[in-house]
Amino acid sequence: MPEVKSTQKVVGVNGNMMTVEFTDRVMQNEVAFAKVGDTRLKCEVIRVRGNRADLQVFESTNGLKVGDEVEFTDELLSVELGPGLLKQVYDGLQNPLNLLAEQSGFFLKRGLYLRALDRDVKWAFTPIAKPGDKVRPGDRIGHVPEGIIKHYIMVPLAWKGEWTLQTVAAPGEYTIDEVMAVAVNDQGESRRITMTQFWPVKIPITDYSEKLLPERTMITQQRTIDTFFPVAVGGTFCTPGPFGAGKTVLQHAISRYAEADVVIIAACGERAGEVVEILREFPELEDPKTGQPLINRSIIICNTSSMPVAAREASVYTAVTLAEYYRQMGLNTLLLADSTSRWAQALREMSGRLEEIPGEEAFPAYLESLIASFYERAGLVRLRTGEEGSVTIGGAVSPAGGNFEEPVTQATLKVVGAFLGLSRERSDARRYPAIHPLDSWSKYRSVVDRKELDYARGILRQGSEVNQMMKVIGEEGTSLDDFVVYLKSEFLDYVYLQQNTFDAVDGATGAERQRYMFDRISKVLEGSFTLPDKDTARRYFLELRQMFMDLNYLPMDSEEFKRQEAGIEAKIAERSSANA
């Protein structure tokens, strides 16, 4: 528990915000504890005006009244970093929820705060530095195995300047609080280095030599994403969509198959029922890389919409700080936040209590700035060791009624590099993943040829126009050429855009297979066929579509795949104008 710097008095309480009058120094984002009897409620300073400070309380303020004591700590809201973070489920303040439940009972106990990491587990330490080495913050002293991850023990990132190592622990097993090294600086100050350190969540970790442009495609093995709306390693994307559009299933699929070493899920204000679904299903997902449970290389930060609103904001920053920490080890980290709309609603509630001038739909006027500062913490960086590490951020947005014109979605679209808009129309038609192929976009590089991709997009756009026209004038009023374009767009949708995430083969399509299949599909889209009437055209494309869909379920290296492919070649040759 942090030491108490000073004790002040409450002069006002408004929901989960309180105002304190102080006589000592108080700083922005400082942690304090409000005392309600024997209970201490964790708070954070969010505004300082004159000799008064407004604090958001991370717990229910029932019983808190004017005149109660508030203890200031002179410390910023921080998280503990070290081995043992993986496989954990935390709340927004980094309390392990399983231990919190054990000590609280059915309902979580107010004012109970636990250490984030297990102090009893012993880790096999291997030193890589030696006495006499000159080190700086972030330099590596040694490493311990954390599952499949090589977890580096670093000089604390909060230190300043150059230090000289006096001692380094020998290889062996140690707990996280044991001293791994002792360092001294030019002023003769001596400090101990353990396996753990603390870092303020609102301050980005920038201890790297260079921030690079995110150009390499992060393969998610989801065809719609990698081909049409790619995400870059170290890039940003958002997945807005209405309730029931498949955001959670899409997140699970991306978590399993994306090229990421560490996955962090921030349930920053989703409904309690959906979080329960994540907690039940996510640990059961099999990691295709290792065959072990996916949770072994994951962290879940869990704050539901039924928890105090202030904790939602904390969970977002806690998650991104943990992602940056693993980036410092040269790892690729994927952070999925669900849903940033609930975080924005918490900001709106707190802004109203601060009596700030509201922006659009009563959201704070600085909403865009806060959302931008969060996504800007993503990035591909080159460390001082020469290695590259990345944080890729994907945020789910839950606009009311699927309205993408609302402020949170629009503010997010201004800063992200890819927009994967989920469609109610497609989810109702059971076309999953329900990413709308015409509304979505990406600034990143696709895994397929740009020319073929542009042609396929043109087919989708023309097919949609013909479909809208047929709804008005009927199929009989449509020309055969237009009808064939519509059939080609439906063919592309069914055989490539749609994907069965529950199938072992179709659920994950690697980059090589995507390029191979898209090349074959492009030949159908660009081909001319001898089709005398609409009934013949419909029957032909339905048969061809089913053959391609069956091909999607077959491993590429199997004999069945080759036989099915030969059948498709013969089917195409039946009506190909080139063979006529």
Mean pLDDT of all residues in 302-331: 87
Three-class SS of residue 265? strand
246 is in an annotated binding site: yes
Mean pLDDT of the chain: 93
pLDDT digits (tens, 9 = 90+) for 373-402: 999 999 999 999 999 999 999 999 988 878
Query: Is CATH 3.40.50.2300 correct for 6-76?
Result: no
**Mean pLDDT lowest among 105-119, 211-225, 522-536:** 105-119
Mean pLDDT of all residues in 7-24: 93
Measured distance CA(88)–CA(298) in Å, rounded: 8
229 is in an annotated binding site: no
pLDDT at position 220:
97
Q: Are 327 and 385 in contact (CB under 8 A)?
A: no
**Mean pLDDT lowest among 68-72, 132-136, 501-505:** 501-505
pLDDT at position 568:
96
Fold of 123-195: OB fold (Dihydrolipoamide Acetyltransferase, E2P) (2.40.50)
241 is in an annotated binding site: yes
Q: Over pLDDT 70: what percentage of the chain?
A: 98
Q: How many CA within 13 A on the CB side of residue 137? A: 14
308 is in an annotated binding site: no
Confidence bin at 289 (pLDDT 50/70/90): confident
458 is in an annotated binding site: no
Class of domain 450-579: mainly alpha
Question: Is the pLDDT confidence value at 580 over 60?
Answer: no
Question: Is the pLDDT confidence value at 312 over 90?
Answer: no
Confidence bin at 254 (pLDDT 50/70/90): very high
Q: Over pLDDT 90: what percentage of the chain?
A: 80
Question: Is the pLDDT confidence value at 118 over 80?
Answer: yes
> Token pair of 218, please?
């992060």
pLDDT digits (tens, 9 = 90+) for 2-14: 777 788 999 999 9
Helix-strand-coil split of the chain, %, nearest 5: 35, 25, 40
243 is in an annotated binding site: yes
Q: Which of 322, 352, 181, 197 lies closest to 262 in space, CA to CA?
A: 322
pLDDT at position 212:
96
Query: Residue ranges of the domains in the chain?
Result: 6-76, 84-116+208-442, 123-195, 450-579
**Mean pLDDT lowest among 270-284, 363-377, 421-435:** 270-284
245 is in an annotated binding site: yes
204 is in an annotated binding site: no
> How far, CA to CA in Å, does 225 sit from each of 22, 435, 510?
53, 9, 12
- Determine the CATH number of domain 84-116+208-442: 3.40.50.300
pLDDT digits (tens, 9 = 90+) for 527-570: 999 999 999 999 999 999 999 999 999 999 999 999 999 999 99
pLDDT digits (tens, 9 = 90+) for 37-96: 999 999 999 999 999 999 999 988 999 999 999 999 999 999 999 999 999 999 889 999
Supply φ then ψ for residue 214, to 5 degrees: -75, 105
Q: Which of 219, 225, 226 lies closest to 239 in space, CA to CA?
A: 225
